[in-house]
Amino acid sequence: MKIALTIPKLSCSGCVKTITSAIQAIAVDAELQTDLPQKQIIVTTQADESAIRDVLTTIGYPALN
């Protein structure tokens, strides 16, 4: 499934690396697409959306939508 999320604190490639590592730690199959200007990520994974949101909040990048 694809999960589109807006992350206000997403601002650089370092943020993308941190977010990617955290998501792949709980969902090894996850693939991410990012749009830095729009502060959006699209996660393609079988993991539950709430688990993705929880890990983002835990690492300091909470999603708005």
> Mean pLDDT over residues 36-65, rounded?
96
Q: Is residue 65 part of a domain?
A: no
Whether the pLDDT of residue 45 is over 80: the answer is yes
Q: What is the CATH number of the domain that holds 25?
A: 3.30.70.100
What is the model's pLDDT at position 21?
97
Distance, in Å, from the CA atom of 42 to the CA atom of 29, rounded to the nearest integer, reads 14
12, pLDDT greater than 80: yes
Domain membership of residue 63 (yes or no) is no
Residue at 64 is within a domain: no
The answer, yes or no, to whether residue 53 has pLDDT greater than 80, is yes
Q: Are 59 and 18 in contact (CB under 8 A)?
A: yes
65 burial level (CB within 10 Å; 0-12, 13-18, 19+) = exposed
Q: Which two tokens stand for residue 57?
A: 């909040």
* Backbone φ and ψ of 31, nearest 5°: -120, 140
Q: Which domain holds residue 34?
A: 2-58
For the segment 41-48, the average pLDDT, to the nearest whole number, is 96
What mean pLDDT, rounded, does the chain reach? Answer: 96
- Domain tally for the chain? 1
| Residue 65 pLDDT greater than 80, yes or no | no
